[in-house]
Structures are given as C-alpha cells and as structure tokens.
Structure 1
Amino acid sequence: MQHLLNLLAAIALLVWGTHLVRAGILQVFGANLRQIISHGVRTRLTAMLSGLGVTALVQSSTATALIVSSFVGKGLMGLSAALAVMLGADIGTSVMAVVFSLDLSWLSPLLIFLGVVLFISRQDSNAGRFGRTMIGLGLMLLSLRLITETTTTLTQSEVIRSLLEALSSDLMLEITLGAALAVLSYSSLATVLLTATLAGSGGIPLEVALGLVVGANLGSGILAVLTTLKSSIATRQVPLGNLVFKLIGVCLMAPLIGVWLQYAVPHIDDRIAQVVLFHLAFNLATVLVCIGLCGSVARLVQRLLPDEESTESPLLRPLHLDASALATPSLAISAAAREALHQADVVETMLRGLLAVIQNNDQRLAHELQELDDTVDSLHSAIKYYMTRISRAELDADESKRWTDIMDFTINMEQIADVIERVLQDVEDKKIRRGLQFSEAGMQEIRAMHTMLVANMQLAMSVFLNGNVRDARRLLEEKARFRDLERQYAASHLQRLSNQTPRSMETSSLHIDLISDLRRVNSMLCAVAYPVLEPTGVLAPTRLRKKKVAERKAASAAETRAGSGLPAAPDAALPPAASGDAPPTAAPRTSESADAPPPAPKAEGGNGAR
C-alpha cells in the first residue's frame, strides 16, 4: 500500500511540476508568445513552426490551443491557419517528451535550489517567476526518478502483474485509459512521460505503453474541446478541428503499433526512448498527412459548428476580456486595457451623436444614445469583474500602476456617459419637446466646444494607450483653454440676454447647463493626464498648495514679529489658519482639479450652472 501511495504522489508531483512550468512560462513570456503566434501565420509552414516553438516552451498543446482559439474567436486569425498552428503544437509536445526522457536526474536538485532562491528573493519580478519555472522543471525530473524507483518495487507484486496482463489484452482499452489519464492530469506530456517511465522500469509491457501513448494523444484533443465548451462558437472550432486531426492520427498509427514493435524497436536499446520516439512518430505522421487537409477540415468544422448569426452589434459586448489570459497577469492587463478603449469608443459614439441631437432636435437618436449608457455600464462592470480576477500578487510595480490606471479610466468613462445621458434628457425635455432652438451665436459656441471636446477625447484615449508625456501636457493645456472658453461663452450668453435676444432668453437655462456639463466632461477626460505626469514632477502646484505655502509664510512672519518684540499683525490680515480658525480641509483630487472655475453667472429666468 505504501508503494502505491508513493507512486500516486510521484505522479501528482509530475502533474504539478508540469503546471508550474506552463504557468511560469506564460507569465514571463506570455505577451511574446502571442506575438510569435500572431505573426507566424502567413503560411501553413510558418504557422506550424510557430506552434512548435511556443508549445516547446509552454509544454502544453492545450495552453497553445486556448491562445489560438482566442485569436480565432476575435477574428484575428483564420481557422485554417490556427489548425496548422495546432499541428506544430503537437510536435512541440512530443519533442519535449524526448528531452525529458533523457537521464537528467542530476539536474533536478540544482534546478530546485536555484528556483527556490530566485522565487523567494524576487517573487514579484520576472526573475522570481522564472525561478518558479525552474522549480517546476526540477520537480518534473525528480518525479520521473521517483516513478522509476516505485514501479520497480511494485512490479514484484503478483497482483500488479495480473492487472498488467489484463491490460495487454485490448488495444481499445489501452487507448481509452490513455485518453482518460491525459484528461484527468490536464497534460498529455505528463501522461506520455509517466507511460514511458513505467515501461522503462518494467512496470507495463511495451505494447501496452504504445497503446497508452496513442490514447494520450487523443486525450489532449478531447481536453481542449472540454476546456472551451462554454466559449463562443468561433473559439470552439479550433479544438474541434484539432480533435479531428487526433482521430486521423489514431486511425493511422494504432494499426502500426505492431510495425513499430517489429522494425523500430530492435534498433532502439532504451525502452523509454522506444515509447517517446513512437510518440514523436505519431505526431510527425499526423502532420505529414493532415498539413494539406487544414482547409478541408476547417470547412468541415464550420459545417459542424456554424458561426452564430448574431444581430447584436459587436460594439455592445465585451470583445477583449479573454478568460484564458487570466493565468498570465501581464496578458490579462493588456486585454483589460483594450476593453477599456472599447468602452471609450462607445462613449465617443455618444459624445459625437450629442451634437446631432442638439442641432436637429432628433428625439429618436437621443433615445438610441441614452441606451448606449447601459452598454457603457455593462462594459464597466465586465472590466471591473475581470480586473478583480487578476492576481495582484503576481503583478510587478509597473503592472500594478497600470491596473490602477485602467480602473480609474473606466470609472471616468462611465461617469462621462452618465453626464452625456443626463444632457440628452435635458435637451429632450427643455428643447425638443418644446420645439425651441438655440440662437445662431449660441449654436456656434456649442459647436466649437463640442469640436474641441471630441478632439480632447481622442487625445485622452491616446494618452491612456501610449502614456506619452508630451500628449499628457497638451491635454492639461487643453483643459485650461476649455475652462477659459466656458467663461467666455457664459459672458457672451449674458450679453445676449441683456440685449433681449428671444432665442437666448428661451433657452438660457439649458445653454448655461450645457456648456457647464461639457466643461465637466472635459475635466474628466483631462484626468487621464495626471497618472502620466505625476511621476515626472511637471504638474503645476494647485491653488490649495499655494494657499498652504502662504499660510506657512504668514505663521513664520508672526513668530518673527513676536520674537523681535514687534506688534503682531491683526488677525484680519492673516489667513484663517493663522488667526485661529480651522484650516481648510484638502479634498481628494478628482477629475475636477483644484483650479476649477467658479460657477457661471446665473442668468435671468434660468436656474444657472450646475
């Protein structure tokens, strides 16, 4: 019983080591791996080679399948090219099985020692993550040695020998068992290595091991299908096509097990090598037969899983929140940033449509734009939920800052959409339903502010995406220009009221509210510049900071007067803090900075600025 438990523990250690290596490689090189795949699909050959290289690093064709499936789901890659990538991924897995079959047990202690030192000393850096990968590699090599030692002891039991003899009686049973092991262990590589080690130690007959290898290959295809069951149709097409290739490989190689035993085995001395080289031969034969069938299999899969005919616009649903990227926080951060820009695109659609509603009294368009506010809210909720699923402990300092910036940006976009929705409602209530029009001069002012606001919206999105300091400075300069423009237009409106311009008098309340709300939207857009400029130290001091400096100077002057015997300055000449009044409380900075303008003058008959 003890030996059986030792074997199960060693198998668990092998599976866990494989998981550590896969997770570590994805976290360190995840973005680069996706770039390799996305740029290597020009031809079927390059697509296959990119899949081979990526899977050799990740050591999991299932992980590669998830990445490629997400590309197809987003329309970034054709199904035929994705299937070629998966053929290369299967060769990558078999190559790594050959590498691990070599006697590398001497390397295990060194990898574990160095990996633990790196991981403990620099957990939140790429060096620490690479250390965890080294720990995984060391555990895999250690587990293979433990499996060899344990199975050597177990095979001396008569009960175990009887069970193994029963296995060798049915090829279909061996294939089924191999597939089940690959699915349960979440790794065909671990299953093949386990099978090779058991065969090498005499734990199972060679013909049984080859049947299990065929089943493990089939199991990896089934695993990818099961993993993407709840995904979109386009995402599920890649694993299904890969499973078709696996079935072709099983039909091709299962009858050739006897041929391998008769002609190849006599030329290979090591039993472990006999198993892993058969695994490599399985995938090479599958590639040679199927590389020319990628287009045909793609068409077959599209008939079996036809694309959904969705009437919903892609604008209205999340496009970039890839669940498979959550295992790699750096990739997940990039996905969330792209989705935040998608949310900003919806807000920009609302902002651009606002002017058409104001000019044309288009009530139908106003309702459509107000409904987009619900889309912005749902996108904000989706991004927020996705961001909370990212492991903050695995983010470095720059990624943590980016996490915060994305959350702030999406909150600002959601608030801007709320302001635009309220403006649309006011326009509908106070202008469209009453059949009113702004004066010609007033409409020109609104158009000018709107044009500037759309330009600032695009600039803010650029600053969020690129973090360019020069653009961030331009954005703050635009904030000051916009504030001055609001004051100028508020004064012009009051002048028209004093001249008793009829249209200005009829729409006075709405006009003042509108230019004030546009200024608020602009202030929230300009808030994107603060995270970029704060580290550079170029932000100008706010009035609040200037006021505190004046208070300190006044208090220092009072102490000097008292020390020199001069009469103290009267309380009225001192700021409140110096005269004993409570000092002003500094409010936290929001999108409305401390240099916000005073409220616009209240017009006659109107309810003033908000």
Structure 2
Amino acid sequence: MELSLTLLELAGFAALLLWGVHMVQTGVQRTFGPKLKTFLAGALRNRMKAFGAGAAVTVALQSSTATGLMLTAFQAGGLVALAPALAVMLGANVGTTLVVQVLSFDVAAVAPLLVLAGVILFRRAQDAPHDFGRVLIGLGLVLTALHQFLALLEPVVAAPAAEAFLAQVGRYTPLAVIVAAILTWAAHSSVVTVLLAMSLTTGGVIPLETGVALVVGANLGSALNPLLEGADAADPAARRLPLGNLINRLAGLVLVMGAFSFVAPWIARLGPTEARALANFHTLFNLALALLFLPWIRTYAKLIARLLPARQAADPGAPIYLDPDARGTPAVALGAATREALRMTDTLEEMLKGLKESLAGSSRTSIQATKRLDDVLDRLNTAIRAYLISIPPETLTPDESARLAQILAFATNIEHAGDLVDRNLLSVAARRLKRGVSFSPEGEADLVRLTDRVLANVRLAGAAFVSGDRSAARLLVAEKESLRAVEADAVAAHFQRLQSGDANTLDTSSLHLDALRDLKRINSHLVEGAAYPILQSVGELLPTRLRQVGDRG
C-alpha cells in the first residue's frame, strides 16, 4: 500500500514537472514569441550562429524536445532550411546539457521565491511582464517537482524488487539504454532521466557505467518525440529534421557503445563526484556530436533530403488557371483570372462553414483549420493581382479594362471578407472557448441563421460576378438590405434576452454583438465586390445614398 502511494506521488510530481516545463515554454513564447522567431531567422544564416541559437532557445524553453517540435513545424512549413535547422538541433542538444548542469546543483531552495515573484507579475502586471510571470512560476514548479521526484525515488529504488531490476539493467548495457530512451520519451524530457541517473549513481544504486548508458539512452529518447509527434506522417519531407536529429544521436550511441569499455573508466575522471562526472560527460558527449556533424552539415542535409524526397501535393494557395502565356491575349487572360477568383469564393465558403462549426462547437481544431484557409485567400488574391497588372494596358479594350477592374475589386473584397472571418469572427469563437461560456440557444440560432444567409450570398455573388447579370446583382443588393434587417432583429432579440436576465446572453453579450456586426460586414464586401461594379457599369448605381437638399421623398 505504501509503495502504491509513493508511485502515485511520483506520477503526480512527474505531471507537475511536465506542467512546469509547459508553463515555461508558453511563457517564453508569449513573452518573446516574435523576437524568438526573428532571433532564430537571423541566426540561421550560418551554422555556428544556428548552433548557438539552438542552445540559447533550449535554455530559455528548458527543453530540447520543445525546440525540436517548434523547429520541425518551421522546417516542414518551409520557413527554415534543413541544414541550419539541423545545426540548431545540435545546439539544442548542448542547451539541454547546460540545463542539467544548473539543475544538478541544489537550486530547489529558490523555487518558492520564483513562484512568488511569478505570481506577483502574473496577477499585477500586463502583457510581457504578465507572461514572464508564467515563466517564473513554471521554473519554480520545475525545481520543486524535480527535487520532490528525486527525493521520493530514493525509497522506491531501495526496495528489493527495484534493486533486483536495476541490477539486471546494470548487467546488460543495451537494456539500460532502452529503458532510459523509453523513460525520456514518456516524460518528454531528457533532463529528468539524466538527473535520475546522477541521483542513482550518487546513491550507489547503480554503477557509473550504467549511469553512462542511461545518459546516452536519454539523448536518444529525446529525439523520438519530434519524430513521432512533430512530423506530418503524410509528407516524408516533414520528417527530415527529426530523422536527421535521431540519426546523429544514434551515431553518438554507436560510438560510445563501441568504445564503452575504454570510455567508462575515463568518465570517472570528469568530476569530483560521480554525479558531476555524469553531468560533464553529458555536456562533452553532445559537444563532440556537434563537432562531428557541424563541418559537413550541408552534405548531411542533402543526404537526408534524398532519403526523404518531398511528396508532390497540390498547394491550395497556388494558382491553377493563371497561364503566363495567355497575357498576350487579354480576353483569355481575363477568363483565366475570373476562374481563379471563383476559387476564392469556394475557399470563403469553406471558411464560413468552419466558422459555423467553431461558433457552436467546443473544439479548437476547427478554428485553427479555418484560420489556415485565410492564407489561401491571401495568396490567391496576390497571384491574381500580380497577373492582372502584368497584362500590357495598351492591349486592353475599354471593356476589357473595365472587366479587369471588376476582377480586382471582386478578389480584393473576397480577401477582406476572409480577413473578417480570420481576425474577428474566429477570434470571437476562440474567446468564447477560453472563457468557457456558451451562446444562448436563441443567440446561437441567430448566428447560424445569419451565417447561412451569408453563405448563400457568397454563391450568389460568384454567379453575378461570372455572368455580369444585372438581375443577379440587384438581387444581391436587395439581400444586403434584407440581411441588415435580419441583423437588426437579432440585435433587438439579444437585448430583450439581456433584459430578461438570461445568464448565457449576459456572459456572451459582447461576443454575440461582434459576431452579428462582422457577418453583416462580410455580406457588404460581397455586394461591393460583385454587385456594385455591374450596376455601376450600366448606370444603375446612385453616386450617393444621402438625401439631396430639398428632397422630401
């Protein structure tokens, strides 16, 4: 029973450790996020700067796994080339050893002070100081959890069964490596495993040789998380960085294991105590790997790229119909641009469908997926604009010039509509989830009804844009007036629910009103992009809606 409680406490402190690391990571990313990316981008110009940046970022994040996951996403998205990314990971591995060096000293006494300072900043400050408070709280939790975790392990490893198991592990070095790799993968942190190996070695539970095997296994295990969790399994190219990192860890493992009988006795001379010797070996091991791979990192990157060629997949943001050779024939080029602009309406439809799911659902996944579609709209609009302005103006007839202006206006307004979904309406959905509130059933129904009306108007706008039909344009303008009335009725009903004391309405009032307003603004962009140019071209659009002086009608 006592052992079961101890194991439960160990699991609790392990969870506290992971949560502390998570708080440090999110705090650093929120405090220095844009600067962190700029710092990385600036450092990626040569291998030594990239190596140093990897070490610095890992010390800040307290985890090479976090650095690996972040960098894997950057590299898979094409934001970072493979060679400098591999250099960053070599630096990240060294950065982890520096974290171990600091934590190997008795620094648990400062944990309460870190938590206290963090709470004060978190509760009293705003913006960057507020987020830095998270970092301090996370560091305090990490130190506390590590101290308690290692203290609780002492009676566990002293148990006869544990001693027997560790003795078996110590007699078979490959088993020690495998156990350490699995433990590191499960804990998402090589720091825990290395500090555990140092503690067990100091206590005489395991010999120094087994401690060395555990350290090498921990290095291997920390390379598994980015490979298994950070890479897109559908695209082999997304696995290049984590696989390259894993291979250099395996190379280090093979070298150490191959010379283990010679290396192990020498390691005892690296420090005054066995624990310090292991910490210093951990640092030297990763420095040696960096020295081994950095000189030929570009060649190594090319080999990895050949091993994992990029999957040829359709890019949703890449234009399909914009044929450069057609620009000499404006009528054909304008037709191609029209077809491309229609793809933007398809994307906007998908965004509105995702928005409807996000407003009513409880998952953040749909929000992130819908936000990515706005990048597709931006890229298509940029491609269409660049294509149209590259058509020689002298080759255009007056009618073709007018059509070119209509296409530009339509694509621009569709992009603006997508921006409203991305920046405003999806923000409403995200804030609702963050606050843990729900729209009232009536309010949610109003939002869904209005979104469906806007969806139908997207299709109508596409039809009017392609056909140039005046009746379709007039119908779209009439829909603008009709939707304005629907929005006004929804606002009035919302205020009635507020007056009746409806709790959900009160909790989500500002979110609900923002969503209604922005849905109406999206519809206005549809009218401005599709209907007004048509009606203006035939003289059916008034220059102003203001009543003329003396006009009593």
Q: Specify if TM > 0.5.
A: yes
Partner of 2:215: 213
Partner of 1:172: 174
TM-superposed deviation, 1:86: 0.9
1:11 aligns with 2:14: yes
Query: In terms of mean alpha carbon deviation, does 361-370 or 139-148 score higher?
Result: 361-370
Taking a change above 3 Å as real, the CA distance of residues 510 and 198 of structure 1, as seen in their structure-2 partners, is same
Partner of 1:136: 138
TM-superposed deviation, 1:87: 0.7
1:134-533 equivalence runs, <5 A: 134-231=136-233, 232-266=235-269, 268-310=271-313, 312-315=314-317, 369-378=341-350, 443=399, 446-447=402-403, 450=406, 453=409, 510=468, 512=470
Percent of pairs with identical residues: 29
**Cα distance between partner residues in 2 of 1:445 and 1:290:** 58
Taking a change above 3 Å as real, the CA distance of residues 121 and 256 of structure 1, as seen in their structure-2 partners, is farther
Q: Report Cα offsets for 1:164-220 as digits up to 9, x if no partner.
A: 211210110000001101111112222222322333344433322221111111111
- Contact 1:449–1:518 (CA<8 Å) still a contact in 2? no
Partner of 1:126: 128
* Paired residue type of 1:309: Q
**Cα distance between partner residues in 1 of 2:257 and 2:358:** 44
- Contact 1:516–1:609 (CA<8 Å) still a contact in 2? no
TM-superposed deviation, 1:301: 1.7
Q: Report Cα offsets for 1:379-434 as digits up to 9, x if no partner.
A: 6667888998669xxxxxxxxxxx9xx98x969x79x99xx9xxxxxxxxxxxxxx
**Cα distance between partner residues in 2 of 1:389 and 1:309:** 30
Radius of gyration: which is bigger? 1
* Paired residue type of 1:15: L
**Cα distance between partner residues in 2 of 1:301 and 1:14:** 34
Higher helix share: 2
**Cα distance between partner residues in 2 of 1:58 and 1:379:** 34
- Contact 1:199–1:206 (CA<8 Å) still a contact in 2? yes
* Paired residue type of 2:214: L
* Paired residue type of 2:148: L
Taking a change above 3 Å as real, the CA distance of residues 410 and 86 of structure 1, as seen in their structure-2 partners, is closer
* Paired residue type of 1:56: V
- Contact 1:151–1:201 (CA<8 Å) still a contact in 2? no
Question: What stretches of structure 2 of length at least 5 have no aligned partner?
Answer: 385-396, 424-466, 482-487, 489-515, 543-553
- Contact 1:147–1:197 (CA<8 Å) still a contact in 2? no
1:116 aligns with 2:119: yes
Give the root-mean-square deviation of aligned CA atoms.
4.9
TM-superposed deviation, 1:224: 1.4
52, 57, 60: which one aligns with 2:60: 57
**Cα distance between partner residues in 2 of 1:362 and 1:8:** 65
**Cα distance between partner residues in 1 of 2:245 and 2:358:** 29
Taking a change above 3 Å as real, the CA distance of residues 386 and 54 of structure 1, as seen in their structure-2 partners, is farther
1:42 aligns with 2:45: yes
92, 95, 99: which one aligns with 1:96: 99
TM-superposed deviation, 1:366: 5.2
TM-superposed deviation, 1:147: 3.3
64, 83, 86: which one aligns with 2:86: 83
1:22 aligns with 2:25: yes
TM-superposed deviation, 1:456: 6.9
The alignment partner of 1:315 has SS state of coil
The alignment partner of 2:171 has SS state of coil
**Cα distance between partner residues in 2 of 1:74 and 1:181:** 30
- TM-score normalised to structure 2 length: 0.64
* Paired residue type of 1:370: L
**Cα distance between partner residues in 2 of 1:299 and 1:240:** 13
- Contact 1:84–1:291 (CA<8 Å) still a contact in 2? yes
Query: In terms of mean alpha carbon deviation, does 452-461 or 72-81 score higher?
Result: 452-461
The alignment partner of 2:222 has SS state of helix
TM-superposed deviation, 1:302: 1.9
Q: Report Cα offsets for 1:301-325 as digits up to 9, x if no partner.
A: 2232111123x24525xxxxxxxxx
* Paired residue type of 1:208: T
Taking a change above 3 Å as real, the CA distance of residues 110 and 94 of structure 1, as seen in their structure-2 partners, is same
Taking a change above 3 Å as real, the CA distance of residues 150 and 25 of structure 1, as seen in their structure-2 partners, is same
- Contact 1:210–1:257 (CA<8 Å) still a contact in 2? no
The alignment partner of 1:168 has SS state of helix
TM-superposed deviation, 1:69: 2.2
- Contact 1:115–1:134 (CA<8 Å) still a contact in 2? yes
- Contact 2:338–2:407 (CA<8 Å) still a contact in 1? no
